[in-house]
């Protein structure tokens, strides 16, 4: 979808932190499910999975069914964003992957990986197609770095925590989401540079480059987007897990 002034007028200003450790969650939490396609004989590369997941998140947020104020997608995303922004990564193979294609969501690919981001919904009960998918076992081989050297937006993952592919995919999705929302908010207020960057990213179908910096590079860098995870899984307590820049 190509952005223009009318599109921006429909986009709320969303620039607050993702994990919201200082804000109450819903009594019945909601989450965006990220379904990673897995081929046991030929598994996808770790970084490719992270890039596909982050792109799928942004494509869902930018989808016309989300931007329309009165749509079911828009209402679901707005409710989800009013609480903690949870993302849950699961894996699906063969028929189970085919089954989740029938659920509302958006697919994205990067290199060897494909991920479907589903429209947010309650953590419980889950649709049967999602409930049968495993959260565990979302570790993919770390074969090579990103191939997207010319991507508009780059996401970095912390070198100070050993995150599984599934957890890292969720964190990459968080960083990409904040980058999209901040650029949208700035464009909405008339910032031409943000509008130009967002339009270029949109034209590139929201491709994302994921980098894994060294500890010294991470410590020295200053980025406009920083994600502090609430520490619900894999990390203990509030932890900075990912960043984004453009």
pLDDT of residue 237: 61
Task: Please list the pLDDT of the chain residue by residue as tens digits (246 residues).
Answer: 434 333 333 333 333 445 455 667 889 999 999 999 999 999 999 999 999 999 999 999 999 999 987 889 999 999 999 998 899 999 999 999 999 999 999 999 999 999 999 999 999 999 999 999 999 878 999 999 999 999 999 999 999 999 999 999 999 999 999 999 999 999 999 999 999 999 999 999 999 999 999 999 999 999 999 998 776 666 666 789 999 999
pLDDT of residue 17: 46
- Token couple for 41: 């004989």
Distance of CA 93 to the CA centre of its chain: 21
pLDDT of residue 118: 98
> Strand 30-37 relative to strand 86-92: parallel, antiparallel, unpaired?
parallel
pLDDT of residue 236: 62
pLDDT of residue 234: 67
pLDDT of residue 231: 60
Q: Which long-range contacts (CB under 8 A, 24 or more apart) does 99-107 make?
A: 99/129, 100/35, 100/129, 100/130, 100/133, 102/129, 103/127, 103/129, 103/130, 104/65, 104/72, 104/73, 105/33, 105/35, 105/56, 105/60, 106/56, 106/59, 106/60, 106/63, 107/56
Determine the straight-line distance between the first and last CA of the chain, rounded to whole angstroms.
20
pLDDT of residue 11: 35
**Is 242 within 8 Å of 158 (Cβ atoms)?**
yes
């Amino acid at each position: 979808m190509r952005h223009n002034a009318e599109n921006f007028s429909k986009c709320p200003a969303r620039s607050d932190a993702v994990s919201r450790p200082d804000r109450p969650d819903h009594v019945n939490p909601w989450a965006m499910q990220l379904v990673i396609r897995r081929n046991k004989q030929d598994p996808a590369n770790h970084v490719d999975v992270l890039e596909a997941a982050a792109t799928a998140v942004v494509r869902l947020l930018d989808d016309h069914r989300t931007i329309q104020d009165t749509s079911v997608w828009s209402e679901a995303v707005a409710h989800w964003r009013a609480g903690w922004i949870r993302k849950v990564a699961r894996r699906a193979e063969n028929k189970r992957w085919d089954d989740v294609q029938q659920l509302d969501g958006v697919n994205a690919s990067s290199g060897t990986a494909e991920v479907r981001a589903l429209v947010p919904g309650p953590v419980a009960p889950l649709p049967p197609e999602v409930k049968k998918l495993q959260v565990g076992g979302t570790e993919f081989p770390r074969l090579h770095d990103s191939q997207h050297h010319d991507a508009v937006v780059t996401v970095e993952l912390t070198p100070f925590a050993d995150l599984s592919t599934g957890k890292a995919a969720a964190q990459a999705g968080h960083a990409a989401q904040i980058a999209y929302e901040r650029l949208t908010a700035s464009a909405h207020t008339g910032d031409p540079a943000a509008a130009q960057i967002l339009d270029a990213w949109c034209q590139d179908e929201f491709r994302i480059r994921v980098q894994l910096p060294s500890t010294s590079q991470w410590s020295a860098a200053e980025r406009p987007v920083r994600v502090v995870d609430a520490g619900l899984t894999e990390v203990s307590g509030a932890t900075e897990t990912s960043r984004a820049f453009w």
